[in-house]
């Protein structure tokens, strides 16, 4: 199942539609959130999607799946869950207190969405910038 497209671009829908997505979008639009994480197996491979690539444009959507901005991918790397570093956690712009806190929050999110997360689970760490 391919990811949604809007105006020819892949869609970037942060979290699930609702209050958290709205808050995350505010973080992006305010310049605080400049990265996001996904699971290689559960998100990309399971859905037949290639990784984003540097220079790719993504349509940032709100909870009604309406485009509210465009982001440009600036860096993509795949690392084991246990190797996600503090710099990436900070780039996510969500107020994590430590990389351990990042891992705790993301374990819960991924698990709540049906994925199993282990120390060696491959995480796609994507950095982006909001275009004017």
* Segment 58-85, tens digit of pLDDT: 999 999 999 999 999 999 999 999 999 9
Query: pLDDT, tens digit, for every residue of 30-57?
Result: 999 999 999 999 999 998 899 999 999 9
In angstroms, rounded to a whole number, what is the distance separating the alpha carbons of residues 38 and 44?
8
Closest alpha carbon to 71 in 123, 2, 12: 12
pLDDT number for residue 47: 87
The pLDDT of residue 2 is above 90: no
The pLDDT of residue 1 is above 80: no
Cβ atoms of 82 and 120 within 8 Å: the answer is yes
Q: What percent of the chain has pLDDT over 70?
A: 98
List Cβ neighbours of 58 (8 Å cut-off, separation of 6 or more): 9, 10, 11, 12, 52, 70, 71, 72, 73, 128
pLDDT confidence band for 86 (50 / 70 / 90): very high
**Once rounded to an integer, what is the mean pLDDT over residues 79-95?**
97
pLDDT number for residue 75: 98
């Amino acid at each position: 199942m391919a990811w949604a497209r809007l105006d020819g671009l892949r869609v970037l829908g942060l979290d699930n539609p609702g209050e958290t997505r709205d808050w995350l979008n505010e973080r992006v639009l305010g310049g605080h959130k400049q990265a996001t994480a996904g699971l290689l197996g559960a998100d990309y491979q399971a859905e037949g999607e290639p990784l984003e690539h540097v220079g790719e444009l993504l349509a940032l959507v709100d909870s009604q799946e309406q485009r509210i901005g465009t982001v440009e991918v600036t860096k993509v790397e795949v690392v084991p869950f246990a190797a996600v570093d503090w710099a990436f956690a900070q780039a996510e712009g969500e107020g994590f207190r430590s990389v351990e806190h990042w891992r705790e929050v993301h374990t819960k999110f991924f698990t709540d969405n049906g994925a199993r997360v282990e120390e060696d689970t491959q995480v796609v760490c994507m950095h982006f910038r909001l275009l004017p």
